[in-house]
Chains A and B, each alone.
Chain A
């Protein structure tokens, strides 16, 4: 059993060490390459976008192509801003949240309360599948359900329904997960005092898992806020500020899409994208903060 190959074995040390080192270097190099897109994209947005961000950017309507063209020809900055996009995005997010948050939280509580029965698992699986549905397909749904049958035209409602369906599975899942972390004793204490069931949910379970629910909602919002595809099929866009649910509405990503399709507006593309990215990152940061805060306590 004492191998005669010991010498050959020792000879392989060097080769194996080298192979190990080369592999480690490859892993490090590829990992660094993986970080490069984010750095390139962020720096591109900042370098090209900061110049156009000023007060007007937040208070003025998006310019039309002639305004942009004449400004360009006289070498000035493109006038106007993206206020109709910002209000539109906020409006859509608000509507979508109004639909998705109550349904999502209640469905999440239902799943938590009913453990792993067959029906509950079915709902859970459906939520899983819904999470994977491409957003463009949800745009089609918003179009068929709302644009064609309810508002008979492109509308904020159609867009927010599509976005709400996107938010739902995320909120359902995060609600169920946070509810699981509420100590059973807190619930029992409420029940022992004879508090009615719906009040235990409203006064005990939701408050004590508030930060978790909040994180889920913020992450869901940050996922829909940059969505463009479903809005193309549902809200269409609007050159003015609109807060009516049955009228077409603009949104920041829709404005970016318009700017992209108009060679005169290039400068506004980057500032709008920078704004949108900043918004998403801030939402992500806030929710990470909440998670970190909760884990500390």
Chain B
């Protein structure tokens, strides 16, 4: 039984009866139904192995990189099925940031920001490139820190700076939705605070879906929260309501630290 205590108008994403299995028997995600609110931060929580990362990756079809994956159900982006889109096109609209900062080590900071354009073979003139780089780095508050070393390798930056660079790389492509898979788990508290601040700022322009196993992070920055357990969506609601008054006993156990 799903406790769905949320009423979302005009959702960006509609997840409908989504099930994902790595092989016939092992379901990672079981029959999930959820709507994702526009210009809000939605956090997906749950103990490790609960399917939260798989669900996140299904949203831009990154999970299809694994062979033999079975996907059932549907995800709609602004009403259009993502399975009817080209993955190339879909991933441009739905960007992703990963657990460990992963700037391309063979590219400079500058090239990392416009990596999406380079990879996709989109030709830009120098003014456009400079524009995109400056704007994206400004959006992640990295511009002032790196503007004098734009042509150094991105791997020389600190972990927190690298992660912000990776967010800038995603922003540069001007997506509608940004998926983040435990983006701060490899960062120290100060860098984490900076990224969190940034995400709250970014939701004005973008829709953000965030996987985290850090409950206080979800409480601090998210508007809506999902709680997943053993592949199922157990509870979905406004973050404040869910943290103060969880409807499902499992959610309560998790939030009070009984497991996880």
Q: Taking beta carbons and an 8 Å cutoff, which residues of A are in contact with B?
A: 1-3, 5, 9-10, 12-13, 16-17
Contacts and interface: CB of A to CB of B under 8 A. Distances in A.
A13 B86 contact: yes
11 contacts: A1-B131, A2-B174, A3-B122, A3-B174, A5-B122, A9-B92, A9-B122, A12-B120, A13-B86, A13-B88, A16-B120
Nearest to A15: B121
B121 A16 contact: yes
Given A10-B89, A12-B121, 18 more contacts: A1-B131, A1-B132, A1-B135, A1-B174, A2-B174, A3-B122, A3-B128, A3-B174, A5-B122, A9-B92, A9-B120, A9-B122, A12-B120, A13-B86, A13-B88, A16-B88, A16-B121, A17-B86
Contacts of B132: 1
Interface string B71-98: 0000000000000001011001000000
Secondary structure dominating the interface of A: helix
Contacts of A17: 86, 88
Nearest to B139: A1
Interface residues of B, number: 12
A183 B182 CA distance: 36
A5 to B, nearest CB: 7
A13 B90 CA distance: 12
B63 to A, nearest CB: 19
A150 B174 CA distance: 79
Contacts of B92: 9
Identify which of A1, A3, A9 gathers the most chain B CB atoms within 10 Å of its CB. Answer: A1
A1 B88 CA distance: 19
B61 to A, nearest CB: 15
B88 to A, nearest CB: 6
B139 to A, nearest CB: 10
A2 B128 CA distance: 11
Nearest to A14: B86
Nearest to A8: B122
A5 B120 CA distance: 13
Contacts of B121: 12, 16
A72 to B, nearest CB: 56
A17 to B, nearest CB: 7
Contacts of A2: 174
A12 B89 CA distance: 11
4 shortest interchain CB distances as A-B pairs: A13-B86, A9-B122, A1-B174, A1-B135
Interface in B120-149: 120-122, 128, 131-132, 135
A1 B92 CA distance: 14
B211 to A, nearest CB: 27
Nearest to B135: A1
Nearest to B123: A5
A2 B121 CA distance: 17
A210 to B, nearest CB: 37
A2 B92 CA distance: 12
B117 to A, nearest CB: 9
A5 B123 CA distance: 9
Nearest to A20: B88
Nearest to B128: A3
A90 to B, nearest CB: 46
A3 B122 CA distance: 11
A9 B93 CA distance: 13
